[in-house]
Structure 1
Amino acid sequence: MSRLNLLEETRYEKLPVTVFPDSTAASNSVAARIAALIRDKQSRGEKTVLGLATGATPVKVYKELIRLHKVEGLSFKNVVTFNLDEYFPMQPDAEQSYVTFMKQQLFDHVDIDPANIHIPDGTLAEEDVAQFCINYEQKINSYGGLDLQILGIGRTGHIGFNEPGSAPNSGTRLVTLDDLTRRDASRDFGGKENVPTKAITMGVGTIFKAREIILMAWNLKKASIIKKAVEGSVSSEVPATYLQLSDKVEFILDQDAAAELTRFDTPWLVRDCVWDIQLIKKAVVWLSKTTGKPILKLTEEDYNNNGMAQLATEKGPVYNINIDIFNKLQHTITGWPGGKPNADDSQRPERKDPAKKRSIIFSPHPDDDVISMGGTFIRLADQGHEVHVAYQTSGNTAVWDDDVLRFMEFAIDFNKAQGIDTTTLENTYRESREFIGKKLPNQPDQIAIRDVKGLIRKGEAIAGARFAGLPDENIHFQNLPFYDRQKTNSNVSFEDDIQQTVELLRKVKPHQVFAAGDFADPHGTHKVCFDVILAALQRLKGTEEWVDDCWLWLYRGAWHEFEIHEIQMAVPLSPQEVMRKRLAIYKHQSQKDLPVFPGDDAREFWVRAEQRTAETARAYDELGLAEYEAIEAFVRWEF
């Protein structure tokens, strides 16, 4: 691409942005730049002064730096580091401290001099913090300032812990954390109430003094804030926008984090496009929403006035484009998610044969099935298909501790009423109650407590699946081992998870597999569960004949929905079916009212589910298609 074309394509971007295919490639590139800087400075007998970040974003960078040290001899003896921030108060040996994080992720694996490591002190008395911050700034200056500062970005737009409202010339200081920042950290602390309300952070002004600044961001969860940071106006409401004022900064993104930038999201606004059908569909849906007109009322003037003249010229007349896209969207709608028997299926999302299919719904947590696709679940069962559901994890993390004691007390009283000895159960109850009374934030549960939490969710899932119409023999609990292993070890193998999934698929031999494609799940479980399913299907492909006739459909849960142009199967629900779905969700009583990890959406799960599917139906209606009470959406994954 010529420089002129690149400038045109990125004209909405107010700072340099480099996009990599994935976070691994991006992280390796950043690590290579750090290594080159270290080696260059070492060759001149100088120290390299690095500003380091914590959180999930830089983990792969640190992993590659460790590899470069161990395999390629990169030395850190002349490296001096200053970390951006630390929670306050915070003990350095706490699991959630950034001292612990940096040791585990980098420092314990390279030859850096401990005297050259600087991290804000979370153990200070609050009255001593101001002087510490002054000394921290002076220490950075004593080394001649930062050669390179790496940054992540929070969903509030914070860099370091410079939350909305931070000044562009701010220095190292004690700050109060934004509520969204604390919610995002809640899983590490076992609940938002345990997350510190304050932190010590380098200021925006301190960051600006670095001779080079790299901000990194990965995955779709960061896409919306990246768009604001890169293309929005400079504002204290999004502190990362201050970086637009620097000529030393570069944003390093993966494709998902860059997805909402204009050149990727609406490329027709910045360049000529190669118009395949998917891009045409996206553009026409966008134009309909932008103009507030149904698709069939869009005119040539609408196309020309909204950056789509090239499409009108190459593929027009525009009314033909409108009709084609309208029909394609119309053909996604079906009341037969298992295929309509004895019907022409050439323009239907699912094939008609076999008339009665074997379908398996994989649910990462014990309620994702009914929350995300409960109406379709019930419809498949009502239409006579052999439906199975597989609950991939126990979901035991998301149960309140007092529910454990309540269920244990019930078991003791019930056994006593039956004349059964309760000595062992009472001992377990006392041990559990004592443990819960002294439990530290994010401390792994005892096995007995974990088992009770899992059984609570298992009982709820059985009730929900039975309500949807499944016989007990079609309800499967995988309890994949990675779920509990990851609580104590971040480097886990998924081989036994994959093998267990392979065996279940071999047993069912499904024509349809439904899997959670909602990778915005804040806990990451959905993505792991999907990867396990995909790996299992790929192993079976070519060895089992039924796999060649197996279709993989993705659904999304309570976190967000597919975009209209992405949807390949839209299952409309009547008001009565919406109510049946709600009742199925109600079976999950431990998740009712206030779940342990609600995310940053205050609505109950059943409310989210209903409003999400109603919004999808409304979007179809506004495009000029039929008006439904609700629509559940699916995308087919080619594996």
Structure 2
Amino acid sequence: MVDSFEKIPVKIFDNLKQGSVFIAQEIAGIIRRKQAEGKNCVLGLATGSSPKTVYAELVRMHREEGLSFKNVISFNLDEYYPLDNDALQSYNRYMGEQLFNHVDIDPKNINIPNGEWPKEEIKKYCAEYEALIESTGGIDVQILGIGNNGHIGFNEPGSSRFSRTRLVTLENSTRIANSFEFANISQVPRMAVTMGIDTIMKARKIYLMGWGPMKAPVIQKAVEENVTEQIPASLLQQHNDAIFVVDEMAAAELTRYRSPWLTGEIEWTPKLIKKAVVSTALKLGKPVLGLTNSDYNDSGLGELLVEKGDAYEINLQVFYLLRDSITGWPGGKPNAVIPAHPERSLPYPKTCLIFSPHPDDDIISMGGTFMRLHDQGHDVHVAYQTSGNIAVTDEFVTRFIDTAVGFEEISGIDSSKSRQVLNNAQQFFSGKKTSQIDTPEIRAIKGLIRRGEAKATCRYVGIKDSNVHFQNLPFYETGTIEKKPMGEEDVKLTMELLRKVKPHQIYAAGDLADPHGTHKVCLDIIFESMRRLKKEGDDWVKDCWVWLYKGAWQEWNIEEIEMAIPMSPDQVMKKRFGIFIHQSQKDMVPFQGSDAREFWQRAEDRNGHTAKLYAQLGLTQYAAMEAFVRWHY
């Protein structure tokens, strides 16, 4: 009964990589079967972040296993409009970089909607695109991503089930969600050319992929709720051969994960008991200690009562777990023996190393804990893993250089060189195209701006300069949103820093919902470094605990939280002022994803919400809380 609530087949993998390999193998199998029959294979292809690993695996299979694409005819789902085909954000360019330039497909067989089509002829070109698909015999296999609002292709909510290839207007939520590909929201096109839902539904086989926690709510709606054009992906329930391929984070809201006790017999572990009781209390609007036997039975938890006894005893067990996760001593309370405390009392003081993927994640995500660790006497280090240079606007660069020129002039220093740098920057920006990346000099200046803000934040907290480490990991330094995968040099640099600091505590960003993946790569680098150090027998590693915080995009579910650090109103304000130091990230933030709020607003709302949930469950009401989960390696 595990999938009894699901109205469409769902295949769940541990991670994105495994799911992507599965889809790539399925596609390869169809290509090879068609080759054996002497027929063409017609593929419907998607763009965006979701299929990148699928394409990487197909390229690997071409290079290492001889998978040929000579019999493949491809049709892409969509393209921004209007947009030059060579723009960095163009899906025409994307497909070349991700797949076509690396395999033996005949260029004549590549079909992608064109962002340069004259608007007055769009209808004609769209009709021709439909006719071309039909002339090939139709699409054999279509791969899809899914938008946070349920769109497939660029078929936004409300799109007709019978729609075909056409020019559409993008919802503002879609434009915001895709703004990480552009310098700012104003540059995101307001329209796109997309295959219609009817066109997609005619494909003989459909794979829809969804990765990460941000997709979990819409995956649940598309899979378990009724078919509606307001959730276009739900229309796939009516397809004869469609399957959703997701990772465990994207599946988190499905009933089999969210409420597994409703789908059949389960093993009642302490973790699952906590999840069941907390979710029931929040759903009923009751404190944990207020739940009754009737509440348990009415919520599908009758078997838990049979196995564990009276509701009151179960309530107490969960209440103590929640209570014991709250502490004002993130480094452990010195001179105290508290067996249920999240952290050890000894050693004291601890050496703490905070890894910050970007130069502001430390203060945004765990600023209160950051300050408390320092104030409580621990030796706190901060490692800024990347330069964060692509998240600085061009205008901020000229402002920064102009200030440097003015400083030199009032100081009586020869400012001719700085003025030349300013002139070069202004000249470059005036002719900068959408397909053009910044020069190395501009990227260095942008990195310097963010470095200065990070150092100022550490001084604000009280951290000495010698404890601030700028790693500038190589994977990040591409000058574009698209980053390299984790490399050996990234791991080597991280291992060197860890051996130098020898921390008792590590804090790292466990936020895998970062829209362009930097947090995920940074976390993988830390994990790989710690595994290697443990394997190599470094003595300090066995005494090092790793705590994961969430970044600006999301928070841990309350049943997952293992350490919650409460904050007073004054501490909330102090954290806000620390975030304000990052002036280049205020107001209009480049690449801020689907959330239009500034980072300080997101942080306060998230921390305040966590504190509110604890209070709703019957714990003390605090102004805010920062949350952590421990990683065991």
Please tell me the TM-score bracket, short chain as reference. Answer: over 0.9
Letter in 2 for 1:535: E
Residue in structure 1 matched with residue 398 of structure 2 by the alignment: 405
Residue in structure 1 matched with residue 171 of structure 2 by the alignment: 178
Question: C-alpha offsets along residues 133-185 of structure 1, whole Å, 9 cap, x if unaligned?
Answer: 11221222222222221211112211111111100011111111122222232
Whether the 8 Å contact between 2:491 and 2:526 is mirrored in structure 1 is: yes
Q: Indicate the SS of the match to 1:499.
A: helix
Whether the 8 Å contact between 2:611 and 2:621 is mirrored in structure 1 is: yes
> Which of 119, 129, 135 in structure 1 is aligned with 2:112?
119
Residue in structure 1 matched with residue 246 of structure 2 by the alignment: 253
Tell me: CA distance 1:566–1:430, structure 2 relative to 1, closer, same or farther (3 Å): same
Residue in structure 1 matched with residue 429 of structure 2 by the alignment: 436
| Distance (Å, rounded) in 1 between the aligned partners of 2:431 and 2:479 | 23
> Which of 548, 556, 559 in structure 2 is aligned with 1:554?
548
Alpha-carbon RMSD across the aligned residues, in angstroms, is 1.8
> Which of 306, 310, 316 in structure 1 is aligned with 2:303?
310
Tell me: CA distance 1:119–1:412, structure 2 relative to 1, closer, same or farther (3 Å): same
Whether the 8 Å contact between 1:194 and 1:441 is mirrored in structure 2 is: no
Query: Which range is displaced more, 82-91 or 354-363?
Result: 82-91
Residue in structure 1 matched with residue 203 of structure 2 by the alignment: 210
Residue in structure 2 matched with residue 104 of structure 1 by the alignment: 97
Letter in 2 for 1:590: S
Unaligned runs of 5+ in 2: none
Question: C-alpha offsets along residues 563-603 of structure 1, whole Å, 9 cap, x if unaligned?
Answer: 11111111111222222222222222222233223322222
Deviation of 1:486 after TM superposition, in Å, equals: 6.4
Question: C-alpha offsets along residues 40-90 of structure 1, whole Å, 9 cap, x if unaligned?
Answer: 233333222221212222222223333333333333332222221122223
Query: Which range is displaced more, 180-189 or 459-468?
Result: 180-189
Query: Which range is displaced more, 438-447 or 623-632?
Result: 438-447
Tell me: CA distance 1:345–1:73, structure 2 relative to 1, closer, same or farther (3 Å): same
Residue in structure 1 matched with residue 42 of structure 2 by the alignment: 49
| Distance (Å, rounded) in 1 between the aligned partners of 2:311 and 2:146 | 42
Residue in structure 2 matched with residue 153 of structure 1 by the alignment: 146
Whether the 8 Å contact between 1:191 and 1:441 is mirrored in structure 2 is: no
Is 1:573 aligned to 2:567, yes or no? yes
Is 1:356 aligned to 2:349, yes or no? yes
Residue in structure 2 matched with residue 637 of structure 1 by the alignment: 631
Is 1:625 aligned to 2:624, yes or no? no
Is 1:166 aligned to 2:159, yes or no? yes
Letter in 1 for 2:91: Y
Letter in 1 for 2:6: E
Tell me: CA distance 1:488–1:269, structure 2 relative to 1, closer, same or farther (3 Å): closer
Question: C-alpha offsets along residues 95-128 of structure 1, whole Å, 9 cap, x if unaligned?
Answer: 3222222222222333322222222222221111
Pairing 1:76-115 to 2, within 5 Å after superposition:
76-115=69-108
| Distance (Å, rounded) in 2 between the aligned partners of 1:357 and 1:547 | 14
Q: Indicate the SS of the match to 1:410.
A: helix
> Which of 490, 515, 523 in structure 2 is aligned with 1:522?
515
Residue in structure 2 matched with residue 601 of structure 1 by the alignment: 595
Query: Which range is displaced more, 64-73 or 272-281?
Result: 64-73
Residue in structure 1 matched with residue 451 of structure 2 by the alignment: 458
Question: C-alpha offsets along residues 584-637 of structure 1, whole Å, 9 cap, x if unaligned?
Answer: 222222222332233222222222212211111111111011111111111111
Deviation of 1:553 after TM superposition, in Å, equals: 0.6
> How many residue pairs were aligned?
632
Q: Indicate the SS of the match to 1:199.
A: strand
Pairing 1:14-93 to 2, within 5 Å after superposition:
14-93=7-86
Tell me: CA distance 1:442–1:107, structure 2 relative to 1, closer, same or farther (3 Å): closer
Is 1:590 aligned to 2:584, yes or no? yes
Pairing 1:197-276 to 2, within 5 Å after superposition:
197-276=190-269
Is 1:502 aligned to 2:484, yes or no? no
| Distance (Å, rounded) in 2 between the aligned partners of 1:147 and 1:86 | 21
Tell me: CA distance 1:602–1:104, structure 2 relative to 1, closer, same or farther (3 Å): closer
**TM-score, normalised relative to structure 2:** 0.96
Whether the 8 Å contact between 1:363 and 1:369 is mirrored in structure 2 is: yes
Tell me: CA distance 1:503–1:109, structure 2 relative to 1, closer, same or farther (3 Å): closer
Q: Indicate the SS of the match to 1:174.
A: strand
Question: C-alpha offsets along residues 494-537 of structure 1, whole Å, 9 cap, x if unaligned?
Answer: 22222222222222211111111111122221111112222222
Unaligned runs of 5+ in 1: 1-7
Question: C-alpha offsets along residues 360-385 of structure 1, whole Å, 9 cap, x if unaligned?
Answer: 11111111111111111111111111
Tell me: CA distance 1:488–1:273, structure 2 relative to 1, closer, same or farther (3 Å): closer
Deviation of 1:429 after TM superposition, in Å, equals: 1.1
| Distance (Å, rounded) in 2 between the aligned partners of 1:582 and 1:108 | 47
Residue in structure 1 matched with residue 384 of structure 2 by the alignment: 391
Deviation of 1:317 after TM superposition, in Å, equals: 1.7
Residue in structure 1 matched with residue 122 of structure 2 by the alignment: 129
Question: C-alpha offsets along residues 5-26 of structure 1, whole Å, 9 cap, x if unaligned?
Answer: xxx2222211111112222222
Whether the 8 Å contact between 1:188 and 1:442 is mirrored in structure 2 is: no
**TM-score, normalised relative to structure 1:** 0.95
> Which of 326, 330, 334 in structure 2 is aligned with 1:333?
326
Deviation of 1:230 after TM superposition, in Å, equals: 0.8
Letter in 2 for 1:628: Y
Whether the 8 Å contact between 1:137 and 1:172 is mirrored in structure 2 is: yes
| Distance (Å, rounded) in 1 between the aligned partners of 2:218 and 2:364 | 27
Whether the 8 Å contact between 1:84 and 1:202 is mirrored in structure 2 is: yes
Deviation of 1:324 after TM superposition, in Å, equals: 0.7
| Distance (Å, rounded) in 2 between the aligned partners of 1:119 and 1:611 | 42
Tell me: CA distance 1:463–1:70, structure 2 relative to 1, closer, same or farther (3 Å): closer
Whether the 8 Å contact between 2:405 and 2:418 is mirrored in structure 1 is: yes
Whether the 8 Å contact between 1:570 and 1:634 is mirrored in structure 2 is: yes
Tell me: CA distance 1:71–1:338, structure 2 relative to 1, closer, same or farther (3 Å): closer
Tell me: CA distance 1:491–1:415, structure 2 relative to 1, closer, same or farther (3 Å): closer
Whether the 8 Å contact between 1:259 and 1:265 is mirrored in structure 2 is: yes
Deviation of 1:492 after TM superposition, in Å, equals: 4.8
Whether the 8 Å contact between 1:187 and 1:442 is mirrored in structure 2 is: no
| Distance (Å, rounded) in 2 between the aligned partners of 1:219 and 1:295 | 30
Residue in structure 1 matched with residue 365 of structure 2 by the alignment: 372
| Percent of paired sites with the same residue | 54
Query: Which range is displaced more, 137-146 or 315-324?
Result: 137-146
Residue in structure 2 matched with residue 478 of structure 1 by the alignment: 471
Residue in structure 1 matched with residue 187 of structure 2 by the alignment: 194
Letter in 1 for 2:627: A
| Distance (Å, rounded) in 1 between the aligned partners of 2:267 and 2:486 | 41
| Distance (Å, rounded) in 2 between the aligned partners of 1:519 and 1:129 | 39
| Distance (Å, rounded) in 2 between the aligned partners of 1:94 and 1:609 | 34
Q: Which has the higher contact order (CA 8 A, sep 6+)?
A: 2
Letter in 2 for 1:585: I
| Distance (Å, rounded) in 2 between the aligned partners of 1:489 and 1:50 | 24
Deviation of 1:212 after TM superposition, in Å, equals: 1.6
Deviation of 1:488 after TM superposition, in Å, equals: 8.1
Deviation of 1:298 after TM superposition, in Å, equals: 0.6
Residue in structure 2 matched with residue 5 of structure 1 by the alignment: none
